[in-house]
Structure 1
Amino acid sequence: MSDFQSYLDQLAGLDFSGMYGDDFLHTWDKTTDELRAMYAVAGALRNLRERNISPRIFDSGLAVSLFRDNSTRTRFSFASGTNLLGMQLQDLDEGKSQIAHGETVRETATMISFMADVIGIRDDKYIGEGDAYMAEVARSVDEAFHDGVLDHRPTLVSLQSDSDHPTQSSADMLYLINEFGGIENLKGKKVAVTWAYSPSYGKPLSCPQSLITLLPRFGMDVTLAHPEGYDLMPELVEKAKGYAAETGATFAQANTMAEAFEGADIVIPKSWAPYAAMERRTKLYAAGDDEGINKLEKELLAQNATHMGWCSTRELMEKTAKGQDTIYMHPLPADIAGVSCEHGEVMADVFEDHRIGMYKEASFKPYAVAAMIFLQKVKDPVDTLKALEERGRARWNQA
């Protein structure tokens, strides 16, 4: 009860009115107050569920998901988060739709939106394409609503684009808030966001970009480390520097994992593709150049292979603030050396040391999804949360 009231108290001091009726496509679209409100609502919703109080605000409703890339955690987190609020989920399989027969984005967006309350989209493969697609869907449902075709406008939530992964970084923040006992305790914590070796190529840049643009907003000192040539989108690196300057945090760049790990309170090593290479791949796909794509893939795999030493080991963990007890994070699935691949992002013993922590990290994502939707659908979140608790409807009825 006291925890629940603390979340309401946090909300009372924040200005998040701009979230109502809006979409959630990037964390940098939101004010710091709006992000804090989302974390507080996520905590309140989790508190209700763990006390067996139903947090459903919908008696009926449809959530539509569109995954243009593979997913486990985000797919089921979107399903769980929308169900938590009372909606049923329908996954849009483009292969079974009329898109192959020439149906436009505008038409698809409108047709899936009848009586739908939220649309979640993952489109992260090609630079510029995911954000552009989500923006077109948003424009389309706006138009259909204003034309009177839709009786309301469904909310859009990005489940990962080519630039940002807001549900993942929000889950990461919730995990860290929980681990350090409050958002105010994150200021001054040193975080290593580093590249790590993978035997595959083309992993999205959006995970590290999500982290470097979000963590400094709460006063966390971030070191970004990667081999030469594995740059992220330059405009987002600049955005990270700007946020760090605003909060008095630091944003540094390094060329070795060891430098980034030195004294770190949190380490987040994950592979990603070089920005320049992803731009090339996008152009090759647009041109239908299969031969060029195959050539690029071979080049990138060979380039990755020269950096196999970028792997999280117990020796590297000893350089951190608390050695083996330092928080190790990963959005999963990780490339585990000797388990899922011969050489990978992390040694098996390090992964096993931190496996439970990473599973807990992932457990916050459904609540992040639900909180994003809640704030975009509820005019008065504080009163609505109070009403849910006072109603006291059991989520799980037992004799």
Structure 2
Amino acid sequence: MANINFDAILADLKKLEFSNMYMNDFLLTWEKSVDELKATFAVADALRNLRERNISTKIFDSGLGISLFRDNSTRTRFSFASACNLLGLEVQDLDEGKSQIAHGETVKETANMISFMADVIGIRDDMYIGKGNTYMRNVSSYVREGKKDGNLEQIPTLVNLQCDIDHPTQAMADALHLVHEFGGIENLKGKKIAMTWAYSPSYGKPLSVPQGIIGLMTRFGMDVVLAHPKGYEVMPEVEAVAAANAKASGGSFKKVNTMAEAFEDADIVYPKSWAPFAAMEKRTDLYGKGDFDGIKALEKELLAQNANHKDWECTEELMAKTKNGKALYMHCLPADITGESCKEGEVAKSVFDRYRVPLYKEAGFKPYIIAAMMFLAKVKDPVATLKALEAQGKDRLFNAF
């Protein structure tokens, strides 16, 4: 990244209109303008450029970044912590089991109590349809109310670390990876990306990754193909967003029911398991009723349904169908790797091993994307602030020699 011209990044950033990001949250990518998405990419690149030149990017002297993960996480959890640290915030994890939430504390009260010195709140709530994104918007509303009432000195920015609808930090990191792989955002236009379902021996993977990909990549004039077996549909409203985005950008969006058709002449492939939308709705309803026997029965049913589609695996034969047999393989990780992490899974071991380094690079964009989302929400003049950080030239790592 250090070889990217820092001044050129700032010159491009200066041309964009992104003032609405200041003092605002980042919840869904399709709520942001294309300029705002480009600004996020630019700031992420600028922050990475400074860090790789050993220049401190801390804009906070103190303050907290609150993390609330209602689902397990490795990459996103550590990416959020890294992003907070990069900007000078200390991370405090909210463990609901150790809080008064377990004793009936309301969302409104929790939002205010954790926000006295918080500048950012990152939430991952992806398991239940109709719940996660709604919860995030409620928290955002309550902290703004707290500021208005004089309870809070500042409004914490809320960053969606994955919800039931979208995974914006993942999709944006994936997109920035593509920007670098293809030499610029303008070069994504006309590229074919296959977002396909793939077999997994586990049940209940969220819909937000495939939805995030089709909702974002259609913004850049890409030809986006969504492939899955019948019965594994995603949210229809997100499909509608993807179709509208494609029409506006000059790209395309279509659905197919075979992996082979999706892979044909694809520039990028993204094989990833997810649970059917209808099943996720049913699970949400069962949890709401406390019907744990029903949940166990649903899980058994879905595992059996998955087993009917073990041929949905990213193999060498399928990769050979892609553009010149050399499509970029992507995954949000961890992947179900056949013969390594499981007996039968999403991707053949030989394919995964060949793309392991690019996959790790893909994941490496996420801390900078999250930091950029925070930066743009907290800094009124990002160009001037980035210039000042460079001019200040404070060593991130002090070395006397």
Q: Which residue of 2 aligns with 1:220?
A: 222
Question: What SS does structure 1 have at the residue aligned with 2:122?
Answer: strand
For structure 2, the residue ranges without an aligned partner over 5 or more in a row are none
Q: Which residue of 1 aligns with 2:394?
A: 393
Amino acid at match of 1:22: N
Amino acid at match of 1:88: E
Offset at residue 2 of structure 1 (A): 6.1
- For residues 7-39 of structure 1, give each alpha carbon's deviation from its aligned partner in whole angstroms, at most 9, with x where no partner exists: 111111110000000000110111111011000
Q: Distance in 2 between matches of 1:221 and 1:10?
A: 26
Alpha-carbon RMSD: 0.8
Q: Which residue of 2 aligns with 1:203?
A: 205
Q: Distance in 1 between matches of 2:62 and 2:324?
A: 48
TM-score of the two chains, using structure 1 as the length reference = 0.99
Q: Which residue of 2 aligns with 1:235?
A: 237
Q: Which residue of 2 aligns with 1:134?
A: 136
Q: Which residue of 2 aligns with 1:63?
A: 65
- Within the candidate set 146, 149, 152, 1:150 is matched to 152
Q: Distance in 1 between matches of 2:185 and 2:225?
A: 20
Aligned counterparts, 1:112-191, within 5 A = 112-191=114-193
Q: Which residue of 1 aligns with 2:347?
A: 346
Offset at residue 322 of structure 1 (A): 3.0
Q: Distance in 1 between matches of 2:96 and 2:175?
A: 32
Task: Tell me if structure 1 keeps the 8 A contact 2:4–2:49.
Answer: no
**What percentage of aligned pairs have identical amino acids?**
66
Q: Distance in 1 between matches of 2:106 and 2:19?
A: 33
Q: Which residue of 2 aligns with 1:99?
A: 101
Q: Distance in 1 between matches of 2:329 and 2:362?
A: 10
TM-score of the two chains, using structure 2 as the length reference = 0.98
Aligned counterparts, 1:222-301, within 5 A = 222-301=224-303
Q: Which residue of 1 aligns with 2:330?
A: 329
Q: Distance in 1 between matches of 2:329 and 2:7?
A: 31
Question: What SS does structure 1 have at the residue aligned with 2:323?
Answer: coil
Amino acid at match of 2:190: G
Q: Distance in 2 between matches of 1:313 and 1:369?
A: 32
Q: Distance in 2 between matches of 1:208 and 1:107?
A: 34
Question: What SS does structure 2 have at the residue aligned with 1:65?
Answer: strand
Task: Tell me if structure 1 keeps the 8 A contact 2:66–2:122.
Answer: yes
Offset at residue 43 of structure 1 (A): 0.5
**Superposed structure 1 runs of 4+ greater than 6 Å apart:** none
Q: Distance in 1 between matches of 2:294 and 2:64?
A: 42
Q: Which residue of 1 aligns with 2:41?
A: 39
Q: Distance in 1 between matches of 2:43 and 2:232?
A: 36
Q: Distance in 1 between matches of 2:69 and 2:389?
A: 32
Aligned counterparts, 1:9-24, within 5 A = 9-24=11-26
Q: Distance in 2 between matches of 1:342 and 1:157?
A: 36
Q: Distance in 1 between matches of 2:186 and 2:102?
A: 50
- For residues 146-180 of structure 1, give each alpha carbon's deviation from its aligned partner in whole angstroms, at most 9, with x where no partner exists: 00000111100000000000000010011111111
- For residues 320-366 of structure 1, give each alpha carbon's deviation from its aligned partner in whole angstroms, at most 9, with x where no partner exists: 0031x321000000001111111100011111011111000000000
- Within the candidate set 301, 304, 307, 1:302 is matched to 304
Question: What SS does structure 1 have at the residue aligned with 2:270?
Answer: strand
Offset at residue 248 of structure 1 (A): 1.0
Question: What SS does structure 2 have at the residue aligned with 1:322?
Answer: helix
Task: Tell me if structure 1 keeps the 8 A contact 2:168–2:212.
Answer: yes
For structure 1, the residue ranges without an aligned partner over 5 or more in a row are none
Q: How many residues align?
A: 398
Q: Distance in 1 between matches of 2:203 and 2:360?
A: 25
Question: What SS does structure 1 have at the residue aligned with 2:5?
Answer: helix
Question: What SS does structure 1 have at the residue aligned with 2:158?
Answer: strand
Q: Which residue of 1 aligns with 2:363?
A: 362
- For residues 26-77 of structure 1, give each alpha carbon's deviation from its aligned partner in whole angstroms, at most 9, with x where no partner exists: 1011111101100000000000001111111111111000000000000000
- For residues 223-271 of structure 1, give each alpha carbon's deviation from its aligned partner in whole angstroms, at most 9, with x where no partner exists: 1000000000001001100100111101111111100000000000000
Q: Which residue of 2 aligns with 1:316?
A: 318
Q: Distance in 2 between matches of 1:215 and 1:10?
A: 21
